[in-house]
Amino acid sequence: MKTLIVEDDFTARLLLQKLLSRYGECHLAVNGKEGVEAFRMACNGGPGYDLVCMDIQLPEVNGREAVKQIRALERARGVLSTSGVKIIMTTALDDIKDVCRAFEELCDAYLVKPVDVAQLLSHLKAFGLV
C-alpha cells in the first residue's frame, strides 16, 4: 500500500506515519498544495497512491479543496472516484455538516482526531488495502 499523509500537525502526521508505514510506503505533505502536487507527481511517475489521509484544516490549500483537485486529476485520467484513490479525511471537526460536506466532496471515510486505530484499520480492511 502506498499512502500520502497530508497533515500540518507534526504529532498527528507522525502518528499516522507510524501506523500506516507497517503496511507500506508513506509520503508526507504539510499542506494541501503540497498534497495535490505529490498526488500529481505520483500519478505521472508510475503507480499512484492507494490511500490519502487528508486533514481538512490545512494552510495554503485546505483539505476540501485538495480533495476536489485530486478527484479532478483522476477524472482527467478517466478514473471515477469510486475506483480511484481511497481518501480518508482526518480532522478535529466533528460537526455533522462537516462530515456530510466531506462525503459530498467525494472522500471515502471520515475520522475525527485523535484517530482511533481500530476505526482506521477497519476502513483499510473495508477498502481491501490490508
In the chain the domains, ranked by start, together with CATH numbers, are 3-126 (3.40.50.2300)
pTM: 0.92
Cβ contact 123:88 at 8 Å? yes
Confidence (pLDDT) at 121: 96
- Average pLDDT, integer, range 61-70: 93
Cross-sheet strand order for the sheet of 86-91: 26-29, 3-6, 51-54, 86-91, 109-112
| Backbone torsion region of residue 96, taken as left when φ is above 0, otherwise alpha when ψ lies between -120 and 50, otherwise beta | alpha
96 pLDDT band, cuts 50/70/90, is low
Least reliable range by pLDDT among 25-34, 46-55, 118-127 = 46-55
**Mean pLDDT over each residue of the chain, to the nearest integer:** 90
Query: Which H or E run includes 3?
Result: strand 3-6
Half-sphere exposure of 95 (CA within 13 A, CB side): 5
In the chain, % of residues over pLDDT 70: 95
Instruction: Give the model's pLDDT for residue 92.
Output: 82
User: For residue 76, what is its C-alpha cell?
Assistant: 482527467
